[in-house]
Amino acid sequence: MLPASLGCRVRMARFFARLLLLLLCVLAPSAFALAGKLPDGFWFTPDKGGVVQISACGTNLCGVIVGLTPTPQGKLPRDYEGGPQCRFPLLQKLRLQDDGRWHGTVTNPEDGKVYDAEIWVAEDGNLRLHGYLGVPILGETQTWPPFNGRLGSDCRFH
């Protein structure tokens, strides 16, 4: 038989272990909800003039332009260096953070400027991209709807 003080300690330890397990069961779903849906897949840009594919690149996520609307002359847009915007690496180094969002950079294909960015899938199923310079409050958030169409081999979409 255990001394009274040791028996009390064992009961207390069991009580706290059960309490911890109960708290984990209650709080774990909240942590998973905070992480949200993985933003991989195909997304329209806000004006629906482009399609970006977000996928894993190592331990991070990256986003590449895979679909474009041709200009009125029937040509696809060019990037800031004069090359095709098709396959342009738009989103880079996106890492999952404690806030459930993916933080990295976004590059403007028209001028080559690089901005800090965070992305997440909102409750409405749309991707949100918040781009900013240094301070998130000074940035802008865009809504990117999911793309469910077909992509052509020439980077045009239907």
Query: Where in the chain are the domains?
Result: 1-35, 41-144
b/e sequence 83-119, b meaning 16+ C-beta within 10 Å: ebbbebebbbebebeeebbbbbebbebeeeeebbbbb
Longest alpha-carbon distance in the chain: 91
The pLDDT assigned to 26 comes to 35
Prediction pTM value: 0.76
Helix (H) or strand (E) holding 106: strand 102-107
CATH 3.40.50.880 assigned to domain 41-144? The reply is no
Please give the residue that has the higher pLDDT: either 19 or 103.
103
CB 52 within 8 A of CB 157: no
- The Cα–Cα gap between 117 and 106 comes to 6
Lowest-confidence region among 15-19, 118-122, 129-133: 15-19
Q: Mean pLDDT across the stretch 92-117? A: 96
